[in-house]
Amino acid sequence: MQIDPALQSYANNYKLLTNLVVPRPIAWVTSQSLDGVVNLAPFSFFNAVGADPLYIIISVGQRDNGESKDTARNILAGGEFVVNLVTEDLFSAMNISAADFPADQSELEAANLHTAPSVRVKPPRVAEAQASLECKLFSAQPLGANTLIIGEVVMFHVADHLLGPRMHINGFAPLGRLGSPSVYCRTTDRFDVARVTYPQWREGKK
Ligand SMILES: Cc1cc2nc3c(=O)[nH]c(=O)nc-3n(C[C@H](O)[C@H](O)[C@H](O)COP(=O)(O)O)c2cc1C
């Protein structure tokens, strides 16, 4: 079946896209308002998009009433944020942090989480997270009702137990987001297959 997005409602298009482009990683973003209130919210329009320098993107939509979300407002104003990664032990806290809290109330307190200081940026990271990426705003671009935020990663925080020799990450199993609004997956069912070279492929065909 072909579906022309131009003939679909926003809701149907959103459903199709977010149920097909899966699983998506979850950026659990700490940001800080100019008056110092720390904000935390999850974003699954998130990915790594550059390695030299290190770039990540998140895309922040608007609230139903058309207002800007606190995360976008804070990042545009302060130019800094932290992407914390969400493992299964943090699922409930992540879910609570997605509720529509007023701007002057910290989601961290509501979700029983603690902050740990960042090194290169003002917003703190989530102390309970096994990995966090300190980011500086590289650019922000309107994408329809969304704001595409490109951040440069300026500091990694990785729990000691995850880090093996030669920067190998072992035993890290962040959650993924599947269909919206509330289906998730674990990343514990893995397989590891070496990449095939062209000569190997050619030999295999004989
Ligand atoms: C797993 C998950 C992923 C989400 N991904 C996004 C997203 O990519 N973009 C977005 O605008 N909102 C997303 N949301 C909704 C925001 O987290 C929610 O609107 C939040 O209240 C925004 O908070 P803020 O106003 O403090 O920034 C997501 C929610 C959940 C639970």
What is the CATH number for 159? Answer: 2.30.110.10
Amino acid at 176: G
Pocket of ligand 1 contains residue 184 by CB under 6 Å: no
pLDDT, averaged across the chain: 96
Pocket of ligand 1 contains residue 25 by CB under 6 Å: no
What tens digit of pLDDT does each residue of 36-83 get?
999 999 999 999 999 999 999 999 999 999 999 999 999 999 999 999
- What's the pLDDT band for 102 if we cut at 50, 70, 90? confident
Determine the atom of ligand 1 nearest the C-alpha atom of 46.
8
Task: Give residue 42 CA to ligand 1 midpoint distance, Å.
Answer: 5
pLDDT at 7: 98
Q: Which residue has the tokens 């705003």?
A: 137
> Per the structure block, which two tokens stand in for 194?
């070496």
Amino acid at 14: Y
Total of domains in the chain: 1
Domain that holds residue 135: 5-205
* Residue 27 pLDDT exceeds 90: yes
* Residue 98 pLDDT exceeds 90: yes
Task: Give residue 172 CA to ligand 1 midpoint distance, Å.
Answer: 23
Sheet containing strand 184-185, strands side by side: 24-25, 176-177, 184-185
Determine the atom of ligand 1 nearest the C-alpha atom of 39.
26
